[in-house]
Structure 1
């Protein structure tokens, strides 16, 4: 057995036990391993054990004396024993491939009593590792596959879910919002989306990211109303390892770090506590954050899109929102109109929402009669698109038929006699005057009646300005004039704009 380094600090009995342990370990590896060899300080092979001799023919040596006594680099291909001798550092686990096969090996430097490297020990732990280590290799392969799938899933969750095509509507109001948002997408300045709840602000934030140069990078959102005030700072800036009792020992990245290079969406901005507003402003100004429990600054590059249904200007006047943060975020403000200002889009929204409800629920898509659509269009929709979707989902669950008439909609909306007076004239007239026998109106006739009424209302709203009425209905001027003619409305309004 090669000499081992003596430690004079140990008692004689302890030193004897250590030498015995070293000898036992050497004997164990010599007998249990697939092979061992020793090299001296000049990297010459000076000894091999019985198990190693079986590799000699495959390495190209018929006799042991043709192998022992020669430099290890000339008799063993791809060896790293020279590296161990020169650095004095072991290579505990390595994969060696040469003419004899593929092996899992360990290489350990040997030192004299003064600590100088005098040789190295090479141990062949396993041969044919593709068979011997197959259970371990398979386990690590499964773990790597699971890790890659988790990374892909996380990446997909941090990508934008919607594009501008998802913002349904052809009305003038909808087109103007999309025009402003498309321009904002090409800028790096903060965007502030203003509007009532349920108008589609989050959808527009996704769409702005998807149309921006950052589209392939993360989209990360923070809902101020959903995170407790005490956790918002950690949510934004992250936590250093062991920052406080119970903190993750590895630390945790905040949303700024997760969104680095991409877009950070701050939803319900008006619900942000004043204490976090100060630190958010500093982060946006400096482009760097300091995780909780850390004294190191971390640089980041994010584009901020914020949204709120509250009146931030009034909050600034009331002293509940910082004026400097307001001006920092209110660079590209976009007002998202409520649904009652987009009545011309309701038919398209109903169709799109019903299609999505059918796909998600595995049912049949609802089909609405013109009277039912007119009644839906007449509602105030205080909850906007979110409320409209809720009504459509309830209709899908309550109705035995995919064909929806006026009565189911009226019943669901809780329309009484007083409320019915607020219904569009076309709805009241058709509902109160049942068709005479043999005079039943076809679907095309009902649709024409609804279209005629919508065009009359648009003209009345614009004081007879046909171009403005066409924009209000989301139609081209040529198409609007064509429908005026075909529906016999030209004589009713002679204003030629």
Structure 2
């Protein structure tokens, strides 16, 4: 503390004594003191502070003193006091040595310039009256860390290619194209009707790519008002407009840095914003709203749409140059009606997920119910199939869903109910006397073989679905396959 020239000499001496007395008081009553110079290097610690050194990773005082304070004391704010010249009288500091109540006081020379900072550890024992405050701070810090970990987990990919259920030729081809796309950094354009699983496929491509450890950030363009889209994409500079956050806000491009950005319903992108999106994709940099500085980013873009982008280009509602920039690796996701043989397996997986989310016992579908599901047009695709199953599960009194319940759900939803497709008739020549007089076991085995093969053909090789169509268990099907092979 510098002397005050406006005071008489006696007053200056008393002020100096008071400063010295306060320093001695803090040195004796506190749990430790630390002093840094104008370069934020530790120049002194008192004897009480030395007991914290082992917990901070130092055995000797000389290994601690002389080093930058930010290197030896984690979470310190001493540099902040040096920069602002403002004291931090009461604060909570938490690091490897524990949680402490601390004060940080700037030290000034005769000209009033900050030449160092004195740090004082006021309390560190659980027995002090401030322990409830320290405990609350520690709980809040833990909750914050948990929330950060949860947010990081949520921004990772939820699905893999194994999550895209199906084994029919259209699905096998989609997975092949997705694996190829995952090995590239070029934009991917997912095309297909609503409810076909485009977002799931985007997650899967991200999970199979070299960016799998990065964030997966998605934005549904159709769900964001046009006036907010620019800020949503590119972020907002500090104080860009009245009411804007003083710290600014990162946009989706920046949040996806190092990972993947999924632009769902790209066909709904406003025409006025399309040039900025094109520039971001071409240059790898964005300009936050209200800023004149460009910010680089490194995000792989996957776009999706249920609309005909070619038609939108011809109508002048979508920029042709942006279309070609996105249309590098197009993947068409087939509608459910083109992969009917996958419906039994999809229904099983959806039924398990519905039961898990509702906290109920899993339910199963009988062969007639599976056949009815496989015959519908499913204009809403997998999303519509899930909705029908969920409604049926809510109406069922037990864990078994039959065709009667499904038919009622379809009728109430206004969905045209189509009867199950009849099995293709088996063409048999009239048996000869020699065939009829064969051993009965041989004839039964032949009939079983024909029936099993027909069921496998109808379900695209899905053994579980085939077993349900035949009215037997999967284990029984495997047993019969071994006997009739």
Q: Distance in 1 between matches of 2:448 and 2:247?
A: 66
**Does structure 1 residue 409 correspond to structure 2 residue 406?**
yes
- Render the CA deviation track for 1:185-210: whole Å, top value 9, x for unaligned: 11101000000000000000000000
In structure 2, the residue matched to 1:4 is: 3
User: CA distance change for structure 1 residues 19 and 384 in 2, over 3 Å: closer, same or farther?
Assistant: farther
Residue equivalent to 1:203: 200
If the length of structure 2 is used for normalisation, what is the TM-score?
0.69
Mapping of residues 445-460 of structure 1, within 5 Å: 452=454, 455=457
CA 1:267–1:111: 2 relative to 1, 3 Å: closer
When residues 149 and 31 of structure 1 are mapped into structure 2, their CA distance, relative to the original with a 3 A threshold, is same
User: In the alignment, is residue 228 of structure 1 matched against residue 221 of structure 2?
Assistant: no
Give the 3 Å change call, closer, same or farther, for CA 200–451 of structure 1 in structure 2: farther
CA distance in 2, matches of 1:115, 1:162: 61
CA contact (8 A) 1:371 1:450 kept: no
Q: Which residue of 2 aligns with 1:473?
A: 460
Contact 1:171 1:345 (C-alpha < 8 Å) held by counterparts: yes
In 2, Cα distance between the equivalents of 1:142 and 1:233?
A: 37
Q: 1:407: Cα distance to partner?
A: 2.0
Deviation at 1:33, TM superposition (A): 3.0
> 1:175 & 1:245 partners in 2: Cα distance?
52
Tell me what 1:462 maps to. none
Q: How many residues align?
A: 396
The structural deviation recorded for 1:166 is 0.7
Q: 1:311 and 1:121 mapped to 2: Cα distance?
A: 65
Consecutive unaligned residues of structure 1, counting only runs of 5 or more, are: 7-11, 40-51, 59-74, 96-101, 428-444, 459-471, 488-497
Residue from 377, 381, 406 that aligns with 1:380? 377
CA contact (8 A) 2:237 2:288 kept: yes
8 Å CA contact retained: 2:374, 2:420: no
**Cα deviation per residue 1:223-242 (whole Å; 9 max; x = unaligned)?**
00111000000000000111
SS at match of 2:292: coil
1:167 is the counterpart of 2:164: yes
Cα distance in 1 for residues equivalent to 2:118 and 2:260: 53
- Counterpart of 1:333 in structure 2 is 330
> What is aligned with 2:432?
none
Q: 1:290 aligns with which of 259, 262, 287?
A: 287
Q: CA deviation at 1:141?
A: 2.7
Q: Which residue of 2 aligns with 1:251?
A: 248
Aligned partners of 2:236, 2:420: CA distance in 1, in Å? 56
Quote how far apart the aligned CAs of 1:341 are.
Answer: 0.3
CA distance in 2, matches of 1:110, 1:421: 87
Give the structure 2 partner of residue 301 of structure 1.
298
Query: Is 1:213–2:184 an aligned residue pair?
Result: no
Q: Which residue of structure 2 lines up, in the alignment, with residue 46 of structure 1?
A: none
Which of 186, 189, 192 pairs up with 2:186?
Answer: 189
Partner residue in 2 for 1:273: 270
Partner of 2:22: 29
Question: Equivalents in 1 of 2:452, 2:380: separation in Å?
Answer: 25
SS in 1 for 2:307: coil
Q: Aligned in 2, Cα 1:76/1:204: closer, same or farther, shift over 3 Å?
A: closer
User: SS in structure 2 opposite 1:264?
Assistant: strand
Answer yes or no: is the 8 Å Cα contact 1:5–1:115 preserved in 2.
no
Deviations 1:135-172 (A, max 9, x none): 55444433321221121011011100011111110111
1:221, distance to aligned residue in structure 2 (A):
0.3
Pair 1:344-2:337 in alignment: no
Shift of residue 257, structure 1, vs aligned partner = 0.5
- SS at 1:222 equivalent: strand
Q: 1:407 to 1:449 in 2, by over 3 A?
A: farther
Q: Give, in angstroms, the shift of residue 256 of structure 1.
A: 0.5
The offset of 1:352, in angstroms, is: 0.4
Aligned to 1:357: 354
Tell me which residue corresponds to 2:314.
Answer: 317
Asked if the contact 1:370/1:450 (under 8 Å) is kept, the reply is no
Is 1:195–1:308's contact at 8 Å kept on the other side of the alignment? yes
Sort the Cα spacing of 1:241 and 1:24 in 2 relative to 1 into closer, same or farther, 3 A: farther
Q: Judge conservation of contact 2:456–2:462 (CA < 8 Å) in 1.
A: no
Unaligned runs of 5+ in 2: 36-45, 52-60, 70-77, 94-99, 425-446, 467-476
Contact 2:410-2:416 within 8 A present in 1 as well = no
| In 2, Cα distance between equivalents of 1:120 and 1:336 | 65
| SS, match of residue 303 in structure 2 | strand
Shift in alpha-carbon separation, 1:421–1:29, aligned structure 2, 3 A: closer
* Alignment partner of 1:391 is 2:384: no
Give the 3 Å change call, closer, same or farther, for CA 259–473 of structure 1 in structure 2.
same
Q: 1:368 aligns with which of 346, 365, 376?
A: 365
